[in-house]
Amino acid sequence: MPTDPVVCEVPDGLGLIEVTGNDWASLLLIGGWPVVLEGSDCCGSIGWLASRATGPEAPTPAEAKALTAWLAAPELTADPLTGNFPPPDPERLRPLLQLLAPGRYTMTAARAPQPLRVVHPRSGHIESWYADEELALLTTDHWPPPDRDAVRAYVRRIRAGERPALVALSPAGDSLAAYLLDGHHKLEAYHQAEVPPLIIRLTPVDPAPFRLQDCEPAHEVFPGEPLIRTFRYIREERTA
């Protein structure tokens, strides 16, 4: 056991080394420059996203953890005749919905269509594909998912008949792409179990067009990508 702490006064600190954050996520700065960003992974992707939210309305770690636990065993039962799943009560997803841009969203719950393509974007690279699949699911966290024990546990549950839920966000109702917000370990488990995953899909009722002010930051993140010019062209054409 550690001894009682001693308070160290540092009135003459040079400010070279600084750490900010809390017990959920933190940032190490050297000379005012961020060098390491860490975040607790106890809540999965939802925790990773929620840890970046600020303000009194931001989801708490307990709320994110409760949502992660519910998605691992959602109370959704398929209709025995149609096989369709009823969408969950939106309040169940409130910690995640709070992180979205303001607006109205449709929510569906269904087994993933076939064929399903899983795309793993790389930093500084734009993904594109030919539209020969019904849905392209883009991962947003580490891939392959790092916790192999969690994957194996989900595989056992899926093979036993349970259906944990993934959450994905699409830009528009007719889009062939969706961004996986939560469920990377579950997605890998579904793949290993050879079972179509259950996806809770969110889609803006009023799709947001490309914004001209996003072009320059996107160009910095994706240097040299011709699709950035395409985004600018589509935006300017629709506002002409």
Q: Residue 196 maps to which CATH number?
A: 3.90.1530
pLDDT digits (tens, 9 = 90+) for 205-239: 998 876 667 666 666 666 655 555 555 555 554 44
Angle between helices 148-159 and 184-193 (to 10 degrees): 50
Q: 197 and 91 share a domain?
A: yes
Relative to beta strand 177-182, strand 165-169 is antiparallel
pLDDT digits (tens, 9 = 90+) for 102-146: 999 999 999 998 888 888 876 555 556 545 678 889 898 888 998
For residue 240, name the pLDDT band (cuts at 50, 70, 90): very low
Q: 185 and 219 share a domain?
A: no
Contacts (Cβ under 8 Å, ≥6 apart) of 95 = 46, 50, 59, 63, 64, 66, 67
Structural domain that includes position 233: 209-240
Instruction: Check residue 99 and give its pLDDT.
Output: 92
In a domain, 32, yes or no: no
Q: 187 and 240 share a domain?
A: no
The domain tally of the chain equals: 2
Q: 141 and 90 share a domain?
A: yes
In a domain, 176, yes or no: yes
Instruction: Check residue 154 and give its pLDDT.
Output: 97
Instruction: Check residue 50 and give its pLDDT.
Output: 81
Please state, in angstroms and rounded to a whole number, the distance separating the CA atoms of residues 52 and 61: 12
Q: Residue 221, SS3?
A: helix
Flag the least confident range among 126-140, 143-157, 166-180.
126-140
Instruction: Check residue 22 and give its pLDDT.
Output: 60
Q: 95 and 182 share a domain?
A: yes
DSSP letter at 55 equals: S
- Which contiguous run of DSSP H or E holds residue 192? helix 184-193
Relative to beta strand 25-30, strand 17-21 is antiparallel
Q: 187 and 107 share a domain?
A: yes
pLDDT digits (tens, 9 = 90+) for 25-84: 667 788 888 777 665 555 678 887 887 787 788 888 889 889 999 999 998 998 888 888
Q: 109 and 122 share a domain?
A: yes
- Which contiguous run of DSSP H or E holds residue 202? strand 198-204
Instruction: Check residue 230 and give its pLDDT.
Output: 58
135 within 8 A of 117, measured Cβ to Cβ: yes
